[in-house]
Amino acid sequence: MSKKNKNIEEFDSFHIVVFGGDGDLALRKIYPALFHRHQDGQFSKDFKIIAITRKEPNKTLFSRELIKFLKVSEGDQTKVEEIEKFANQIELIQVENQEAKSYVHLSKVLNENPHYQHIYYFSTPSSAFGPIARALKDSGLVNEKSKVVIEKPLGHSLSSSNAINEEISEAFKEHQIYRIDHYLGKETVQNLMVLRFANNLFERAWDSEHIENIQITVAESLGVEKRAAYYDNSGALLDMVQNHLLQLLCLVAMEPPSVLEADEVRNEKLKVLRSLRPLTKKSVQTDTVKGQYTRGTIKGEQVNSYLEDIEKYQSKTETFVAIKAYVDNWRWKNVPFYLRTGKRMIKRYSEIVINFKEVRHNIFPSKEKLNNNKLIIRLQPEERIELVQMTKVPGPGGYRYKPVALKLDYSDSFKDRFPEAYERLIIDVIRGNQTLFMRQDELQAAWTWIESVTESWKSVNQANILYEAGSWGPGDLILGEDESWITKTWKEQ
Ligand code: BG6
């Protein structure tokens, strides 16, 4: 039953038209997000959800799938009924191809409510973005109030990303385009801005004078699942670093915007991306590692190698990448940002660790090493902030100290339902707030830097280091050979 929540802002009536409307992303993320917000009582005005399918629509199958993705606990008949009711409000429309006559039915339905804003969600391969945008425009379905939401991968290089953008911008202007990076919708990621800019404590020490290094890790225990074809053309660098990890880096490294407005925030992120030091033939060999998983065991279960997963004899695609990156600006001079991500790692966890420098002078008699302070921001699976500080061990023995963490667990402090990233992002689209979406110039700057990695890898023919599924990744394997950054910094803090 939907209920009213006083923290909820109202917004105009809308149509949301999901292309790829019976696909995995739509069922797994988009409709559940809309369902939850509907349940929270956020849709006070009229709305209509339209799922575009290429095949003949099958409503019964669709509702069944939706129930499955909404993970209703067994026996919860009330929930099942609510989902069924919600699913019944979703209209399935077949659009076979991008010719005008395929859009006749959709036009008719949209024109029934001409005052609604139209939100087009392209949950399809990016090769379809341009043709769909053109067909919508040619069918007269794009107006000043229309918006388009696009999902990654937005190209596989700077030029292909620009080409996609050009096609879309023939139908939509920049202020109508919402480029989703779901990491920006995660509560803990948004909290980064609050942590930095609503507390006086940290920002004072947020620079190269006080910080030794910053580590951004997104480890996954999953493999490539059913996305072999897509993944083998992208790899960890394009799938994760180009978007999610660089966005996290931006939020950690950017200057405070003067107000929390979309372009102010995006201007600051853009400056960070443009300050990233390009990798060269020389630095790529010392400052990056790429790897690929072999067979192994995760949580007691045997899992396949990457090559078995993608059913190929060989592939140069990396499933792990680690990069020592630098932001060449005043604040971050020579502070390494370690970016790491991998599939089939020992466990799933994402975190940002800010490692502070040692105190300038140790006054204590034992001269035992004073561990550095650390601020650990755990993004998932738990949401937590830890501030690790040296603390006196009570009792006799003089000044003995050890690192102890002050912990803030989100689940202890905030008891409400923890919303999924897509909820916040979709609601922001409806409301017209672009703060958490990438602007085209940000995307270009991210691609420019990423190409410095891909081009350098290509020119030195950098090989993957194999690592066993269920391990900490290639860091373990090169222990001894390279005692520096990769081995010391990879493991969980
Ligand atoms: C997606 C990547 O963008 O993010 C996937 O394409 C990855 O390969 C996923 O598994 C990780 O997202 P999350 O929210 O589970 O960390």
pLDDT-derived band of residue 247, with 50, 70 and 90 as boundaries? very high
Compare 180 and 72 and report the one with higher pLDDT.
180
Catalytic residue among 105, 156, 244, 361: 244
Interval 439-458: pLDDT, tens: 999 999 999 999 999 999 99
Q: Which residue has the tokens 């929540």?
A: 5
Task: Say whether pLDDT at 96 is over 80.
Answer: yes
Task: Please write the tens of the pLDDT for every residue from 150-177.
Answer: 998 888 999 999 999 999 999 999 999 9
Give yes or no for residue 1 having a pLDDT over 80.
no
How far is Cα 362 from Cα 205, in angstroms, rounded to an integer? 19
Q: Whose CA is nearest to atom 8 of ligand 1?
A: 239
Pocket mutation for ligand 1, best pick of 150, 239, 343 (most atoms within 8 Å of C-beta):
239
CA of 232 to the centre of ligand 1 (A): 15
Q: Which residues line ligand 1 (CB under 6 A)?
A: 220, 222, 239
pLDDT score at 117: 93
Model confidence at 7: pLDDT above 70: no
117: helix, coil or strand?
strand
What does the domain layout of the chain look like in residue ranges?
14-179, 184-492
| Residue 229 · residue 317 · CB < 8 Å | no
What are the respective helix, strand and coil percentages of the chain, to the nearest 5? 40, 20, 40
CA dist 347 → 105, 218, 301 (Å):
47, 10, 13
CATH topology for 184-492 is Dihydrodipicolinate Reductase; domain 2 (3.30.360)
- Residue 231 CA: which ligand 1 atom is closest? 8
Q: Sort 349 into a burial class: Cβ within 10 Å, 0-12 / 13-18 / 19+.
A: middle
What is the model's pLDDT at position 9?
Answer: 64
Ligand 1: atom nearest CA of 243 is 3
Q: How far is the CA of 224 from the centre of ligand 1 (A)?
A: 10
Distance CA 340, CA 347 (A): 14
pLDDT per residue over 310-340, tens digit each? 999 999 999 999 999 999 999 999 999 999 9
How far is it, in rounded angstroms, from Cα 13 to Cα 31? 17
Residue listed under structure tokens 């919600």? 86
Active site residue 36: no
Give the Å distance between the CA of 72 and the centre of ligand 1: 23
pLDDT at 164: 95
Query: Above 80 in pLDDT, residue 226?
Result: yes
Nearest CA residue ID for atom 15, ligand 1: 220
Which one-letter amino acid corresponds to residue 88?
Answer: N
Q: Which atom of ligand 1 lies at the shortest distance from residue 421's CA?
A: 14
User: Can you give the pLDDT at residue 108?
Assistant: 95
Cβ(107)–Cβ(141) below 8 Å: yes
Coil, strand, or helix at residue 490? helix
Nearest CA-CA partner of 422 in 70, 23, 83, 36: 36
- Give the range among 28-37, 190-199, 416-425 with minimum mean pLDDT: 416-425
Q: Which atom of ligand 1 is nearest to the CA of 234?
A: 6
Residue 2: what pLDDT? 45
Superfamily (CATH H level) for 14-179: NAD(P)-binding Rossmann-like Domain (3.40.50.720)
Mean pLDDT across the chain: 89
- CA–CA distance, 267 with 257 (Å, rounded to integer): 8
pLDDT of residue 367: 74
Query: Are the beta carbons of 422 and 390 closer than 8 angstroms?
Result: no
143-157, 195-209, 386-400: range with lowest mean pLDDT:
386-400
> Cα(27) to centroid of ligand 1, in Å?
16
Q: pLDDT-based confidence at 232, cuts 50/70/90?
A: very high
Question: Best mutation site among 152, 220, 227, 345 for ligand 1, i.e. most ligand atoms within 8 A of its Cβ?
Answer: 220
How many other C-beta atoms are found inside a 10 Å radius of the C-beta of residue 257? 18
CA of 222 relative to ligand 1 center, distance in Å: 10
φ, ψ of residue 408 in degrees (nearest 5): -120, 110
Which of 86-100, 164-178, 267-281 is predicted with the least confidence, judged by mean pLDDT? 86-100
Average pLDDT over residues 5-17: 76
